[in-house]
Amino acid sequence: MHAVDLTIAIVNWNAGSLLGRCLSSIADHRGNLISEIVVVDNASRDDSTAVLQEFPQVHLIQNQTNLGFARASNQALQQAHGRFFLLLNPDTEVRPDALEAMVGFMDRHPDAGALGCQLLNSDGSIQVSCSHFPNLRNMALESLGLSRLFPRSRWFARFKMSYWSHDEEAEVDQPSGACLMVRRAAWEQVGPLDEQFFMYFEEVDLCLRLRRAGWRIFFTPQAQVVHYGGESSRQQLDVRVVVLYQSMIRFFEKHYGTWQVLALKGLIVGEMAGRGLVTLSKALLSWPSRRTLKPYLARYAQVAWLCLAGQRRGQE
């Protein structure tokens, strides 16, 4: 029997401006849980280290390079003592009773391998935070932009589930990795996060492995966490485009057949061509913006080449 109820793992990269608020919210709202916090810092260049000095109870793992989300999370959870693990983004704030509500839910549902909570925007509105597992149909609807044109359609917006209000308890495929609780026994059964995913799709892969191993995955609105969203990835938006599609291709290569991987790559090439044309048109219509848009054109070309040449590149 583990004496610690919950191990909270936070991977930080240059999110010091929000990390302090995240840690303060945990301290204020951990309730009666016996918990521990492990922060893995991926070679931040901001004031993250100074912020962490204000929280001596936090166990810090300081990496000399950016090892990515999956590998850093695994570092944290190799040292975990909790019955449950919580993968938590540094750009979040825990609301009152959220942690106890999530642990309580997992205790009441012994067949639950993972649990997501209701994520809120800074203005209190509800974020879309659950998705169906990626497949060729879902990715085609995303690539063609139909999910954005018909966000309330159960068919067109199936992947990101924007048609759903996220205000009721439900069994789901994949909650957001911004706040994802995993049962220790389930984690130990299916294995840690796949470190071939530098960033993105690692939690999707984990949830799919949990489901295939017989575990159920749930969402509860009884626990709320404010998610400011993408503080780290927003710092390199153009690089993020490449990493996102790189991880998507990796996910399909791991879980689907060759023809589906080839079809996905065809969809991505078409999407990149469309994005490139739109971006080029914007640059021509607004000549002063061409310098800011040029990196995006280069990244779209890089993603297309990634598909056509079958090469993989890490984060640059």
Residue 128's Cβ-count burial label (10 Å; 0-12, 13-18, 19+) is: middle
- Evaluate if residue 65 carries a pLDDT over 60: yes
pLDDT digits (tens, 9 = 90+) for 12-58: 998 888 999 999 999 999 999 999 999 999 999 988 988 999 999 99
pLDDT surpassing 90 at residue 2: no
**Nearest CA among 31, 193, 189 for reference residue 113:** 189
What phi and psi values does residue 130 have, to the nearest 5 degrees? -125, 150
Tokens for 297, please give them.
Answer: 């054109």
CA atoms in the 13 A half-sphere facing the CB of 56: 0
pLDDT in tens, 160-214: 999 999 999 999 999 999 999 999 999 999 999 999 999 999 999 999 999 999 9
- Of 197, 232, 237, nearest to 41 by C-alpha is 232
